[in-house]
Structure 1
Amino acid sequence: MSTIEVRNLTKAFGDVRALDDVSFTIEDGEFAVLLGQSGAGKSTLLRCLNGLTQPTSGEIRINDEPVTGPRDDVAMIFQQHYVLGQLSAYGNALTGALNRTSFFNSLVGWHSRPDKMEALKALETVGLLDEANQQTGSMSGGQQQRVGIARALVQQPNLLLADEPVASLDPASAETVMGYIRSAAGERNLSTLASLHQVNLAREFGERFLALRDGELVFDGYREDLTVDVIDRIYGDVQTEDIREGTEATA
């Protein structure tokens, strides 16, 4: 479990501020969804949280420890699955244990029994235990993303981040994958921040909502507060009919 504190976070790329004085706190075990149009700063925020991008100013603290670089207790689920197609689902899940395995042992396939059990448990969590030995390259996009979730869980994180994890999936697969992310986070009491474009999915699976526009935090609230007017403020002129319909259907 982790408490995440973001204080006055700013990230500038030249004259462009991708993040502009952003502050919020995510409590232990909270499942938060990050909203915003393309270019709003969502990916930059997630990369700062996992230590891959250093902010220009401000700070991030996890359990009161400053984030100064990548951390083993922060796991990321990416939009692109980044699975190794020649490996099985089980082999891919085991790569999440690389932070606990020497390079040589990993190279020759030597893993501890606890790590092997953790990989099987993670595959069971995402509904792929029966497909553990299937080559990942032959799996559907939704299954590959579930393997990516399992890999993140094997890392044994305290904080789980997801950057548009269902953007490349059809609606049915997207709902399935979000269901597995939500249930996995709940089972392990993981503090979670997932960026999503689909507001209907966000409302279905999110508890807490943060929204960025032009690098600024323009909304911080809960499902009942995420009204059509708020969606208009977040997305403005680029709002699509899908976003509007999804919000009204679940209001």
Structure 2
Amino acid sequence: MPHVSLQNVTKTYGEDTVALDDVSVEIDSGEFVVVLGPSGAGKSTLLRILNGLTEPTEGTVEIGDSPVSDSGSEVGMVFQMHYLIESMSAYRNALTGALGRTDDLRSILTLNDRDDKREALDALETVGLLQEAEQRAGSMSGGQKQRVGIARALVQNPSLLLADEPVSSLDPKAARDVMGYMKQAASERELTTLASLHQVNIAREFGDRFIGIRDGSVVFDGDREELSMEVVDDLYYGAETEGTFADRAESGTSGTESAGADADADVEAGGVET
């Protein structure tokens, strides 16, 4: 049985906007999957449905053998914006991940539960920030903040980890650090992971499987070897756009009217998305 199953999932907004169109995907336990596609393709909608933040208009979504609506703490989320409480320490921010497992906010924030405390410290160690546990989040770099966000998700003890554009605002080194720690955490904890990314070269480096979405539909599903330049061209530019991903990267043209411009910038700058 797959860990994650989406069958014929469609999500519409109003009468004219189709965010996802008849998407069917199955993901096995422990897979590290990267979702690629231009802005507005439906990547974030897919992750929001898996996190229970958005209901599909049609279709079924299951995590394990339960509907996503019953999954609760099974799903941890790393957001594009870290949403940390900057006046609090990295440790206390990580500890708030336990809210996914308990309603006792006072117990969490006053550190009465020793198990939660150990979980938070273990999670910070996993993302390489144990020495910075007492550092105020507001004084941390963008990459460190995102790693705290990963630790917070880990404290929830999920079986499925979702990450929505987790490195889009980071420089190449910080982006690779964040993705490296995420991949390590997923491996050590045997987590099924879906991360949406724009940066194709970073995706290739860390993903095991790649799902390409364009205009709300899955147009590619394969491994690293199958993710050819031609596939990327089609995913980000489509058949009607002149030039290719490689041509544009070599010439320095950006095609700013298309979301594929993010992928061009990625090739030229090594992963920076502004």
* TM surpasses 0.5: yes
- The answer for the alignment partner of 1:210 in structure 2 is 211
Name the SS of the counterpart of 1:218 in structure 2: strand
C-alpha displacement of 1:37: 0.3
- The answer for the alignment partner of 2:67 in structure 1 is 66
CA contact (8 A) 1:228 1:244 kept: no
In the alignment of these two chains, the number of paired residues is: 246
- The answer for the alignment partner of 1:242 in structure 2 is 265
User: Which range moves more in the overlay, 231-240 or 81-90?
Assistant: 231-240
CA distance in 1 between counterparts of 2:107 and 2:28 reads 36
- The answer for the alignment partner of 2:223 in structure 1 is 222
Name the SS of the counterpart of 2:73 in structure 1: coil
CA contact (8 A) 1:11 1:56 kept: yes
Question: Could you tell me which amino acid in structure 1 is paired with residue 67 of structure 2?
Answer: P
CA contact (8 A) 1:50 1:69 kept: no
- The answer for the alignment partner of 1:154 in structure 2 is 155
Instruction: Tell me the TM-score normalized by structure 2.
Output: 0.86
Name the SS of the counterpart of 1:184 in structure 2: helix
Give per-residue Cα distances to partners, 1:83-121, cap 9 Å, x unaligned: 1101101000100011334133235x1331111111000
C-alpha displacement of 1:246: 8.8
Name the SS of the counterpart of 2:84 in structure 1: coil
User: Which range moves more in the overlay, 94-103 or 50-59?
Assistant: 94-103
Question: Could you tell me which amino acid in structure 2 is paired with residue 7 of structure 1?
Answer: Q
C-alpha displacement of 1:65: 0.9
CA contact (8 A) 1:3 1:63 kept: yes
- The answer for the alignment partner of 1:8 in structure 2 is 8
- The answer for the alignment partner of 1:99 in structure 2 is 100
- The answer for the alignment partner of 1:233 in structure 2 is 234
Name the SS of the counterpart of 1:225 in structure 2: coil
Structure 2: gaps spanning 5 or more residues: 242-257
CA contact (8 A) 2:107 2:113 kept: no
Question: Could you tell me which amino acid in structure 1 is paired with residue 265 of structure 2?
Answer: D
Instruction: Tell me the TM-score normalized by structure 1.
Output: 0.94
CA distance in 2 between counterparts of 1:174 and 1:10 reads 31
RMSD: 1.8
CA distance in 2 between counterparts of 1:111 and 1:158 reads 25
| Alignment CA distance shift 1:243-1:85 (3 Å) | closer
Name the SS of the counterpart of 2:225 in structure 1: helix
| Alignment CA distance shift 1:111-1:25 (3 Å) | farther
CA contact (8 A) 1:206 1:223 kept: yes
Question: Could you tell me which amino acid in structure 1 is paired with residue 192 of structure 2?
Answer: S
CA distance in 2 between counterparts of 1:209 and 1:111 reads 42
- The answer for the alignment partner of 2:51 in structure 1 is 50
| Alignment CA distance shift 1:52-1:69 (3 Å) | farther
Q: Percent identity at matched positions? A: 60
Name the SS of the counterpart of 1:43 in structure 2: helix
Structure 1: gaps spanning 5 or more residues: none
Question: Could you tell me which amino acid in structure 2 is paired with residue 165 of structure 1?
Answer: P
CA distance in 2 between counterparts of 1:155 and 1:177 reads 19
Question: Could you tell me which amino acid in structure 2 is paired with residue 10 of structure 1?
Answer: T
CA contact (8 A) 1:87 1:136 kept: yes
- The answer for the alignment partner of 1:195 in structure 2 is 196
C-alpha displacement of 1:64: 1.8
C-alpha displacement of 1:42: 0.4
- The answer for the alignment partner of 1:37 in structure 2 is 38
